Amino acid sequence: MSNRKIVQSATIEEFLQQQQGQDLLRFITCGSVDDGKSTLIGRLLWEAQQLFDDQVAALQTDSKKFGTQGEEIDFALLVDGLAAEREQGITIDVAYRFFSSSARKFIVADTPGHEQYTRNMVTGASTADLAILLVDARNGILTQTRRHAFLTSLVGIRHVVLAINKMDLVGYDESVYRTIESEFEGFVRDLRFESVVAIPLSALKGDNITSRSKNTNWYQGPTLVGYLDTVEIQRQVSEDFVFPVQWVNRPNSSFRGFAGTVASGSVRVGDEVRVTASGQIATVSEIVTMDGNREDASADQAVTLTLDREIDVSRGDVLTLSQRPLEMTDQFEATIVWLYDQAGLPGRTYDLKLATQWMPSSVSHIKHRINVSTFAKEASAQLRLNDIAVCNISTSKPIACDTYAKNPQLGSFILVDRFTNATIGAGMIRHSLRRSQNVHKQALSITREDRERLNGHPAKVFWFTGLSGSGKSTIANALEKELHRRGMRTYVLDGDNIRQGLNKDLGFSEADRVENIRRIAEVARLMLDAGLVVMVAFISPFRQEREMARDLIGKDAFVEVYVNTPIEVCELRDPKGLYKKARAGKIPNMTGISGTYEPPEQAEFVAAPSMSLAETVTKLAAIAHVQP
């Protein structure tokens, strides 16, 4: 290892001064599986003399135990810290490492190459200035190479190193290098990178890492470290002050401050700030930090702001300078990277997190998915794992946001599954939708409470769910007859009836079922507002859609009724002959047979098989007949 690059200073003070004066470059290594990302980072750490003697000793020991290079050192083990990574020889989680040269400090993120862990790759790329995209010289450009190139362009990385690795395994053949370089340049022509530099490497052998390799005399470009030392990065910086409030800091009755990290821009004591959602204005009195008060604060600094007057500010609010307000919108177009193995469906509700703001949201429309090999726009009714698609997103209430191109902190968000809390998608806002600016809720003079007083009873929605043939419609009809007899205003929304009119354009795929429930939940909400007691008799097989209906209608008025009839009983009844057809293979996606049914976990009422119809109706009528 005679070519190791030694970066040493004569004294500690000299070293610290040198470090303080260096700028920082953040980059990622990405690409397909087993193309040598971890080995490259290990080699960089080794060449930069960033390893202590005990780390070198541990690496030598681990190389004998886990290594894949025979008696040689396996540099990948410096980065692959998880037991599963070492056992499988792949990268699973993002690993960050730090090193420096005589010119720069570096933070490098080793990201996974496997499609299953694309979410981790996106996480690592989101804060990087540059990407090293590795290619195994034996395999050339693969689908995952294209996907990662496209993702790096999406998150705003403008500089790419195409590291054509494992040149030693192709005999340092120039023609192999030229072929891959040419193909890649053609592929990324439309991705608007500022620079793309191809370098022939052998991370394992050290070719062209810090010094030119004698094995590639035909290559006249920079070495990898030479390029990293000199590449000029123009970081995108927004000058608009944006401060998402993380929490209200109130240690005692005499202090009330708003803590968070400045997302962009800067603020000074005396500046007038605005709460984006409410429009309230106040002046900054103090900027408090752990190291004492400051006169100003800028991007990436964590501070607590105190204001000159008491205004309503809470977690999730966003502060700006009063003269530079942010846009509020509840509908926008975004590019979504789907990271979940369950399909993403239009109309299904997911939690959206943007800065410190959380709220229910849904994909209202999938405009197209992008073929990462051809960039073709393809029609799609749902989002599948690793899909990249342009979608319209709607949120339950307006959020403070910006476009990703202008302000990445307020232009990026994640989607979270409401039941598993898994991150299922990452999004970058392209622009607000015009209809969100032109469509406004109209305040009505007569309210639901007014109608309830006139009717003499509260409005309510009984949401009957259960398998086909379980008795939902029978109970709903009987309940309506009883409530009608008592003089209450009612209506039954039955699944079969609705599908003959309002929802006759929908089929029985999972996506269509989600849309079916979304529409009927909206109708039920309008009828609730009209003061009616509404009986909704739908199979509604998925918990997420029933929860969406509960959120839309309101927990105080929503009564989930689980008609818990076993499928064996339903099949015996089979009033429409559907089970017989499904068993004969004539009906695909039949709930309970080939389609999923998720029974309620905490229904307000369970209609057990042992209960008679009269008993069930009596108990439900008691729930309905509460004086407003």
Pairwise CA distance, residues 393 & 336, whole Å? 10
Residue with token string 């290619």: 135
What is the Cβ-side half-sphere exposure of residue 534, based on CA atoms within 13 angstroms?
25
Is residue 279 a known part of a binding site? no
Are residues 349 and 547 in contact, defined by beta-carbon separation less than 8 angstroms? yes
Of the residues 266, 540, 610, 612, only one is catalytic, namely: 540
Distance CA 544, CA 535 (A): 19
165 is in an annotated binding site: yes
Question: Does the annotation place 353 within a ligand binding site?
Answer: no
**Residue 488 assigned as binding residue:** no
CA angle 590-594-596, nearest 5°? 85
Instruction: Return the bridge partners of 394, or none.
Output: 331, 362
Tell whether 112 is in a known binding site.
yes
Is residue 540 part of the annotated active site? The answer reads yes
Question: Phi and psi at residue 219, in whole multiples of 5°?
Answer: -95, 125
Does 111 count as an annotated binding residue? yes
8 Å CB contact between 11 and 19: no
**487 marked among binding-site residues:** no
**470 known ligand binder:** yes
User: Was 222 annotated as part of a binding site?
Assistant: no
Residue 468 known to bind ligand: yes
Instruction: End-to-end CA distance of the chain: give it in Å, rounded.
Output: 83
Is 237 marked within a binding site?
A: no
Q: Is 509 annotated as a binding residue?
A: no
Rounded CA separation 409/238 (Å): 10
Distance (Å, whole) CA 574 – CA 127? 57
394 annotated as ligand-binding = no
Query: Among candidates 277, 432, 416, which has minimal Cα distance to 358?
Result: 416
Residue with tokens 């699973």: 92
For 253, the token pair is 């009755």
* 432 annotated to a ligand binding site: no
Q: Is 625 marked as a binding-site residue?
A: no
Sort 412 into a burial class: Cβ within 10 Å, 0-12 / 13-18 / 19+. buried
C-alpha to C-alpha distance for 118 and 31, rounded to whole angstroms: 10
* Eight-class DSSP state of 264: B
Q: Is 168 annotated as a binding residue?
A: yes
471 among annotated binding-site residues: yes
Known binding residues for GTP? 31-38, 110-114, 165-168
Residues annotated as part of the active site = 540
Known binding residues? 31-38, 110-114, 165-168, 466-473
Known binding residues for ATP? 466-473
